[in-house]
Structure 1
């Protein structure tokens, strides 16, 4: 059969009489245009009108009420197997919520906010048991009024129940006196007009197992370190080699005199020898006079401890003896440093720390806490930072947990410019703290805090919104939001807002 020929519509011009009227001509032209359109669209495929409403492919298979009948899975017939995962995996998806805690051993602090469980902490029990926990030292930071002083005092009070002893070498506001009294401890108040005296050159008792010769060398080294720290704090610079030699010679001369008379060397005697060029040169065996000239600044620096604003505190025999059996010992320095100059406070703290080392160095004295309250006030003094660094480094061997209390993390940056000795020492103290307790920080401090502590964005946001008594505890890389809980008696003892409430 021949192929089918598609149907085609044709149009031919219509005959219009020459004398037709206008209406007839217009009608004929309309018929012609309609015929042409029909012929033009004859070969186009037929189209269907798009239905209005929702696309059928997007319509729900079942009504909103659910699938009808017994297959609807209603009535509790659908059961899925429980999903199991490790806490390491869960903590990545749910920060804080899946943290396993530090265990039930240690001092009760309060409540873990996210885990809804008790939170306990003890640096001595965690050492060797928790991965990454390399030292028992603690940093505590928080703005005023958020409860950081309360948690520090609470740790001290509750630690006594575990057999630990508490030492506070510097109490610049006198807030620890009432705590020490309630615990049956000892408080030594130093300041102008007060009867308390401490001789920082007192020799500590020789530990068992140490020879007499070795212990003499250790005591001499400690005394030289103390004298150098005092001189550098007053002079605000490092000592020159000739000045170190002058200190060595003056100390040996005074110690020899004191031992011959059966007494203890004093700071006033050291200052007197440094200020006597003939005696200093004679002790060295060089009559050239150069050593006496080099020691002039040293003599005037130590004279402040004898005749200056610290006169009557460290220039005489000690009027108090250290009681190794006391649960707590605090040095009240609230009479010093009130005029804006912290130099006197730092000098007193240096002498008090040296005097307290007699107990810290005893290996049989048990485990102890050393609390540096208002530590931000000493960050600008390199000599004291060096002494603190030595104590931080020896914390494990001495059985000491050092607690440093500051207001802001940026306080550590005030120790000096980037790359300076002071900045390196301050950042080293932070590095040697396996536990960081951060109470609320102001918004402009979050960048510095995050940089120094390596906080995540979630942690930084949490720190900015912490309420009173609530802090972020970072323990060996693990994070907890903890609400500190106080006993009513503790709340009464630790209240630092009593004067604000009349």
Structure 2
């Protein structure tokens, strides 16, 4: 880095490169030092024949390490002395040049050069060994350990390819990121991400910034559920599509979409049966507030899915309820079910699914679709802001139905790369069927060309999904583990225990900093190599569209 001048500014344009009260130019008491140089010494010790022989004859690894450490320490002392000698020689040369220019100026022998320009430039050398012209505490470390000692500054590879997201708060350098860039860089094997943070910590602003920048990078965005309606204005601004279901605006969750060109008739039929069966199971589980269909009921739903794909039954929830209550339910032969158990399953499924047809949930998902979705739209937002936040059953049903519709878009394999954002991740994790569907989507990212991002609040809320040894909790933990890119905003101290379980290599510095993160600053943990603090950068034009906190502060 020799010869490279560093200027560090914060988000308000304030200079952070040097304390403004340290040095000033003559006659310019308001001008601080603005830049300087950093030289990192590179040490490769020369091992003598004696040292090499001692290494070869060492009886234990500890003895060999001691010999090597002494050789490295000697090389470091030699390198520090060389840098110090060069620094003093350069200072003497500069002093002589200034004396010739200025005459017998009593200040000409100062080690600090002075400038007549508006800003003073410190041209000294700050060596890692502490032997420079500026008093820096002496400390020696290796590049391998530097990231542990200062995880924000020495985080590893952070120069990902992709659009500009923000700046690294410690260094002020631009931070670029694309959902697929960690895989291209060899840092992760997964393109999935997770954003976690307390309310008002800045996680939604980051996701919106990521979304609009990814659109400019050629990606397409799908917002799985928008409970506050705050993504609608974003979709309008980028020429996207917002979809609101209900009150006669129908979306059919059993619609399988377009057939991929690489599937033959047999595989397409199997795929349709599987997706319709999963969609029906998700609806039943949502209507029963997380209770899964029994094995007998699932067998009946599988049979219905098969007949829908073969054309014997219209693929809608209304047609299924009518079939269960009619001749089909009394005569359909299902392996493993006798007439009595089949009749019992039909009655229980009718009582459950009829809520969508004739009950309080009608008017949204029971008929053929009346809303057209444009898969090529840069952003598709499923607006669920019209649902009462306390109506957990309705919200869960909507999430399950929209999840099935998103899968139909992804499985079309139209060549577009999409980022799926679950704005309310807890709604997905609370339904076992949706957990399975999300897990499958995360594992199919390569085939379906999608990156899945889940937004969560307090990690301490994981307790609601059972203890750590329960089957549901293990599935949830698996989803969080598969999200190799984790963006962590401020968390309460009670959530640090769960965060430490999720990230076993969480350092003490990170545990201390996370509950104290400033609003808008998030810790990027990408794989096990990259950890850096990032603050999104938003233009004045975009800020009013992305910001939804105006009512939060009264």
User: 1:221: Cα distance to partner?
Assistant: 1.0
The CA distance in 1 between the partners of 2:398 and 2:304, in whole Å, is 22
Q: Tell me the SS of whatever aligns to 1:200.
A: coil
User: What is the count of residue pairs matched by the alignment?
Assistant: 421
Between 1:101-110 and 1:175-184, the stretch displaced more is 101-110
Q: Tell me the SS of whatever aligns to 1:250.
A: helix
Alignment of 1:306-317 (within 5 A): 306-317=357-368
Q: Hey, what does 1:323 align to over in structure 2?
A: 374
Moved over 6 A (4+): 77-86
The CA distance in 2 between the partners of 1:445 and 1:291, in whole Å, is 47
Between 1:441-450 and 1:295-304, the stretch displaced more is 441-450
The alignment status of 1:114 with 2:167, answered yes or no, reads no
Gaps of 5+ in 2: 1-87, 93-110, 112-124, 130-139
Q: Deviations over 1:344-392 (max 9, x none)?
A: 1111111112112222113233211000002123432212111111111
The CA distance in 2 between the partners of 1:183 and 1:326, in whole Å, is 10
User: 1:327: Cα distance to partner?
Assistant: 0.6
Equivalent of 1:126 in 144, 160, 182: 182
User: 1:337: Cα distance to partner?
Assistant: 4.1
The CA distance in 1 between the partners of 2:498 and 2:184, in whole Å, is 31
Alignment of 1:146-295 (within 5 A): 146-191=201-246, 193=247, 195-235=248-288, 236-254=290-308, 256=310, 264-276=314-326, 278-284=327-333, 288-295=339-346
Q: Tell me the SS of whatever aligns to 1:210.
A: coil
The alignment status of 1:481 with 2:533, answered yes or no, reads yes
The CA distance in 2 between the partners of 1:283 and 1:104, in whole Å, is 57
Q: Deviations over 1:192-221 (max 9, x none)?
A: x3x421011113211112112220121111
User: 1:494: Cα distance to partner?
Assistant: 1.4
Q: Hey, what does 1:51 align to over in structure 2?
A: none
Q: Hey, what does 2:6 align to over in structure 1?
A: none
Q: Deviations over 1:101-129 (max 9, x none)?
A: 42152121211122331111112122142
Alignment of 1:399-418 (within 5 A): 399-418=449-468
Change (3 A) 1:287 1:81: closer
Bigger Rg, which one: 1
Q: TM-score, normalised by structure 1?
A: 0.78
Q: Hey, what does 1:62 align to over in structure 2?
A: none
Q: Does the 8 Å CA contact 2:272/2:309 hold for their aligned counterparts?
A: no
User: 1:255: Cα distance to partner?
Assistant: 5.0
Q: Hey, what does 2:470 align to over in structure 1?
A: 420
Q: Does the 8 Å CA contact 2:162/2:176 hold for their aligned counterparts?
A: yes
Q: Does the 8 Å CA contact 1:207/1:363 hold for their aligned counterparts?
A: yes
Alignment of 1:343-362 (within 5 A): 343-362=393-412
Q: Hey, what does 1:37 align to over in structure 2?
A: none
Q: Does the 8 Å CA contact 2:197/2:489 hold for their aligned counterparts?
A: yes
The CA distance in 2 between the partners of 1:466 and 1:80, in whole Å, is 29
Q: Does the 8 Å CA contact 1:409/1:452 hold for their aligned counterparts?
A: no
Q: Deviations over 1:242-297 (max 9, x none)?
A: 212221333344555567xxxx5210111222233x53231228884431123221
The CA distance in 2 between the partners of 1:435 and 1:380, in whole Å, is 22
Change (3 A) 1:274 1:416: farther
Q: Does the 8 Å CA contact 1:249/1:280 hold for their aligned counterparts?
A: no
Q: Tell me the SS of whatever aligns to 1:387.
A: helix
The alignment status of 1:439 with 2:496, answered yes or no, reads no
Gaps of 5+ in 1: 1-72
Alignment of 1:19-98 (within 5 A): 76=91, 87-98=143-154
Change (3 A) 1:250 1:207: closer
Change (3 A) 1:203 1:100: closer
Q: Tell me the SS of whatever aligns to 2:180.
A: helix
The alignment status of 1:300 with 2:327, answered yes or no, reads no
The CA distance in 2 between the partners of 1:383 and 1:351, in whole Å, is 11
Q: Tell me the SS of whatever aligns to 1:447.
A: helix
Higher RCO by CA contacts (8 Å cutoff, separation 6 or greater)? 1
The CA distance in 2 between the partners of 1:138 and 1:363, in whole Å, is 21
Q: Does the 8 Å CA contact 1:254/1:269 hold for their aligned counterparts?
A: no
The CA distance in 1 between the partners of 2:160 and 2:180, in whole Å, is 14
Aligned CA-pair RMSD: 2.6
Between 1:80-89 and 1:438-447, the stretch displaced more is 80-89
Change (3 A) 1:442 1:284: same
Q: Hey, what does 1:47 align to over in structure 2?
A: none
Equivalent of 1:144 in 191, 199, 204: 199
Q: Does the 8 Å CA contact 1:99/1:115 hold for their aligned counterparts?
A: no
Q: Hey, what does 1:18 align to over in structure 2?
A: none
The CA distance in 2 between the partners of 1:91 and 1:74, in whole Å, is 33
Q: TM-score, normalised by structure 2?
A: 0.71
Q: Tell me the SS of whatever aligns to 1:106.
A: coil
